[in-house]
Structure 1
């Protein structure tokens, strides 16, 4: 069957084809029969199977509409030097692939380390950067077909750790005052250490979960498959 590529992102290696029969078919990088860049508008020939395009062959025809800028192919890493950081960090809508997610996480992690050396300005910027992290996580969740509100989980865990730590300190102080020894204080310190260790593990697991879970191959409630934001 003949068709036209609607979207393709080389990050997750997934795309969408509009067939001549009016149906849409998802396809993966492994279904491509040629080692060449692909982008929206390209004409292809493929074998449909239960809503999936297999044995996809890119035809020699030019894609419909204007060609992409020279040296740059949307959705294909390594075809140009561009980085849409505004969409990655300032927009909570839409979808991003695993590659863009890890790039965003790495940038925020390094920025956090640098900001830690700046007493006042670093603290203020770190608070503002919470929004950047929510935008990155939200779009990754959308790509997985899940609500972006789940991006609040790490911050909820940390808030709970702060509240429980304060309660543990208060309990330790009251115990020390009641019994006249430091056992209560020592117990509260151990409880706080265990609590924060658990919080860190939960948040780390959340970050890894977002990074290793593949996105949905076709359109979902949050839009079409994502294009590459970091094209290098």
Structure 2
């Protein structure tokens, strides 16, 4: 059972580690809010302001999720920045941005983070997520 504070910690902090399940749940929450935000008509400056008022916090939450998942794998959370920039700015062979290429790269990137197993031992980012944690203390390699 996931406690509510564990979910909010996963969404709003880039510290520590999260497992695959928490990552997928967080990604689902971000996707649901993004889809709902996409229903807002971008009419005039108020629509644009509302668009960015929703999307920027979602981007922050997405970076927090990716950073913690990368920590669980044993990598720096800063890898989320260039990886996301490459995924979002993927040009097509014709030199223009293509939605299909971007979606495919998103699926590959987030899919890899969702299935890549985390380290089962204590690493420099902390103890393993609670599902893998030992009841007798941190494990050593």
Q: Distance in 2 between matches of 1:157 and 1:208?
A: 13
Structure 2 spans left out of the alignment, 5+ residues: 132-141
What TM-score, normalized by structure 2, do the two folds share?
A: 0.76
- Pick one of 70, 83, 90 that aligns with 2:4: 83
Aligned to 2:72: 143
Aligned to 1:93: 15
CA contact under 8 A between 1:94 and 1:139: conserved in structure 2? Answer: yes
Cα RMSD between the aligned structures? Answer: 2.2
1:110 aligns with 2:32: yes
Which protein is richer in helix relative to its size? 2
Q: How many residues align?
A: 122
Q: SS of the counterpart of 1:192?
A: coil
Q: Distance in 1 between matches of 2:75 and 2:108?
A: 17
Q: SS of the counterpart of 1:128?
A: helix
Structure 1 spans left out of the alignment, 5+ residues: 1-76, 169-187
Q: Distance in 1 between matches of 2:116 and 2:28?
A: 17
Deviations 1:89-121, CA, capped at 9 Å, x for gaps: 110010001110010000000100001122322
Which protein is richer in strand relative to its size? 1
Aligned to 2:111: 208
Deviations 1:186-216, CA, capped at 9 Å, x for gaps: xx5xx636x4422321121010001011110
Shift of 1:151: 1.2
